[in-house]
Amino acid sequence: MNAISRWSASDIILLRGVWRQIIWFVLPVIVVQDSPELIALYWRAGTPNKIPEKRLTPMELLTTHKLDLVDRTWEETDVLMLVTPGASHAVYAMWESKHTRLKCWYVDLQDPLRRTSIGFDTMDHLLDIVISPDRSKWRWKDGGEFKEAVEIGLYSMEKAKAIRAEGERVIRLAEANQSPFCDGWERWSPPPEWQNPVFPDEWDRIDDRSS
């Protein structure tokens, strides 16, 4: 498919972390919506993925020039990823596997999604936010790693301030019950015929726009 084309609901595509021409993770996901207003992607517990053998430290993220990924399985939660095109974050609605009650809202601060010929690429910014289902409580996650990343120069001070400001903006959206938190996604469920996807061919192809 042409890299600029939009995906259709139920298409299986790849969500990847790509930075400095290195693939940091790969996850096959199912398209729920791909529109100018919203990109929604779904995966459930049991979905195969490819990740580093161990969690990388900020220093390893800074110094690694080649990375081997191993086969793993996404566990415990079913996830609906909600992204406003161009935004530097994704909001996950997360359910315990095979349950309909929302476990939490999870905010992943990341590069804006980049559309490729096989899906979407992004890169995680280490700092995340966990929000309770009713949005009454929230907490930063992995703040220590983020602080270390700034100290060693993985992120400039300007970049770090922008990342944290993006998180604070999403917290305000949650507290004010604004989109996507007010849109009823916590009541969404996938069609019963959807199965866990497998890896499409050429999962490791790097487009120029994905560096």
For 91-146, how does the pLDDT look when each residue is reduced to its tens digit (9 = 90+)? 999 999 988 899 999 999 999 999 999 999 999 999 999 999 999 999 999 999 99
Amino acid at 68: D
Q: Which CATH number fits domain 12-190: 3.40.50.2300, 3.30.420.40, 3.40.50.300, 2.40.380.10?
A: 2.40.380.10
Q: What is the pTM of this model?
A: 0.93
Alpha helices, H only, the chain: 58-63, 143-151, 157-175
Instruction: Single out the catalytic residue among 66, 137, 141, 159.
Output: 141
C-alpha torsion sign, points 57, 61, 64, 69? positive
What pLDDT, on a 0 to 100 scale, did the predictor assign at position 141?
A: 97
Residue 94's SS3 state is: strand
Q: Is 100 exposed, middle or buried (0-12, 13-18, 19+ CB in 10 A)?
A: exposed
Residues of the chain with pLDDT under 70: 1-4, 207-211
Question: 77-83 and 39-43 as β-strands: parallel, antiparallel, unpaired?
Answer: antiparallel
d(CA 66, CA 86): 28
Is residue 141 flagged as an active site residue? Answer: yes
